[in-house]
Structure 1
Amino acid sequence: MSRPPIDPLPGRIVRADRGPPLPSDAHPYRTIGPFDAGHIPAGLLKTHNLKAGAWGLLTVEAGAIGFCWDDEAGGGCELQVGEVILVPPLVPHHVERRGPVTITIAFWRQPACPGPKAAAPPA
């Protein structure tokens, strides 16, 4: 029986416009930022996506930033201070500076699934 998705930031509204929800067994493994408008890494400003099994939670700490989906559905939004967007794995996206802003991004993943064991080399 699967558990419901977790609320990674209790009390904060998390937008989830695309892809699968954050699984209940996911856990944070890395946080980057805070980045102000002048220090947002260039890779975030061009189309990119998260690897399989990884979700991102982009939080606007101050100001506002444009968030664009670069998949076939397209679209986007302007995220204001206090807003969070859940970015699922493998969905292309980018951010756009639109003035003063500070953002942080927390990366979450599920525990590693045990894979098949490699066969021992022949003797």
Structure 2
Amino acid sequence: MSGPIPYKSTPEFDEATLPQALRNDHSTKAGVWGLLRVLEGRVSLVFHDPARTVEVTVENPAQIDPQTLHHVVTHGPMRMRVEFYHEPPLPQS
């Protein structure tokens, strides 16, 4: 079963190389979905409105909807990247 294909991806980051811009509040543009994929370890994806925190692991990637304010919090050693899509990357539940 195939799903949407990302049109772009960030480089792979670890806890030392994760840019401050991703640690601070930011959002994607209109019409752009993100998918945070953890390759090792775990991170928290903190959304602001409505306020919620998603624990992101290798088994549990997290979708970021367009124009949704959020930031990433690390919890020790990790590796991650963000993929970008023109449509929702995960099935809607």
Further displaced range: 80-89 or 54-63: 80-89
Contact 1:66/1:97, CA 8 A, preserved across alignment: yes
Structure number with larger C-alpha Rg: 1
Q: CA RMSD in A?
A: 1.8
Residue segments in structure 1 that go unaligned for 5+ positions in a row: 1-6, 9-25, 111-123
Identical counterparts, % of pairs: 30
Q: Name 2:70's counterpart in structure 1.
A: 93
Distance in 2 separating the partners of 1:33 and 1:70? 25
Distance in 2 separating the partners of 1:81 and 1:75? 20
TM score, norm. by length of structure 2: 0.83
Whether 1:56 aligns to 2:34 is yes
Which has the higher relative contact order, 1 or 2, with Cα contacts under 8 A spaced 6 or more apart? Answer: 2
Residue segments in structure 2 that go unaligned for 5+ positions in a row: 88-93
The aligned runs of 1:13-28 (5 Å cut-off) are 27-28=5-6
Shift of residue 27 of structure 1? 4.3
TM score, norm. by length of structure 1: 0.64
Q: Name 2:81's counterpart in structure 1.
A: 104
Q: Name 1:81's counterpart in structure 2.
A: 58
Distance in 1 separating the partners of 2:84 and 2:58? 19
Contact 1:62/1:82, CA 8 A, preserved across alignment: no
| SS in structure 2 at match of 1:86 | strand
Q: State the number of aligned residues.
A: 87
Question: Deviations along 1:66-97, whole A, 9 cap, x unmatched?
Answer: 110012x2010221223211101011000001
Shift of residue 98 of structure 1? 1.1
